[in-house]
A = this chain, B = another copy of it.
Amino acid sequence: MGRAALDDLRRAELVEAAVESVARIGVQAATTARIAETADLSPGLVHHYFADKEDLLAAAYKATRKPAAAAYARALVVAPGAAVPPRLRLIAAVEAHLTPAVLTPVRAAAWTQFTALTPYRFAFARIRRAQRCRQESNLRAALVALEGDRQTAAALAQTAALALDGLWVEAATREGGLAPGEGEDLMAALLAPHYVPE
């Protein structure tokens, strides 16, 4: 394994361990030592790969939403060459955030805590803005094509993004998580008549 590859591996291991630790025991209890232990690494190694704890947690925050972005990108290249129909784009954008493979209990719990800390950590606030920006723009792109009115579509996209975040919080804080189909129902009510899942 090359130098750069090992570097990436260790960073990824620590980030995953950070997400898992924060989800399991909470941000307050997720010390650098415990995170390193979860990753089966020594405590000192954290500061070899990250400037400080906030730097590691910021990377963990980003990681909680990365699968959603990946799922959305994947859905859009299912039919390569062909333009994706607007309605499918909308469904893809919503599913990218609600599919059980993306919205796991661990990621939801970590993401919710990081988001709650957004007003107090500069780096976190930037990450949240970026996530929201991408999320809204994906929804908007699908909605303008369906809605016609650019103004209405933009407002609807903003509301839908807000509701999706609400569902992540719910998945994190309700014991047992979201009921199957519950997220889809809420989004269907909100985006009717544009959003028709399945």
Binding site for B on A (CB under 8 A): 25-29, 109, 112-113, 115-120, 125, 128, 155, 158-159, 162-163, 165-167, 169-170, 172-173, 175, 182, 185-186, 189-190
Contact = CB atoms under 8 A, between A and B. Distances in A.
Contacts of A167: 162, 166
12 contacts: A28-B117, A112-B116, A115-B169, A116-B172, A118-B173, A119-B172, A158-B182, A159-B189, A163-B163, A163-B186, A166-B167, A169-B169
B109 A113 contact: no
Majority secondary structure, A binding face: helix
Contact of A186 (B112, B113, B115, B190): B190
A165 B170 contact: yes
A172 B162 CA distance: 12
Contact of A162 (B112, B120, B166): B166
A94 to B, nearest CB: 15
A169 B162 CA distance: 9
Contacts of A113: 116-117
A119 B22 CA distance: 11
A109 B115 CA distance: 11
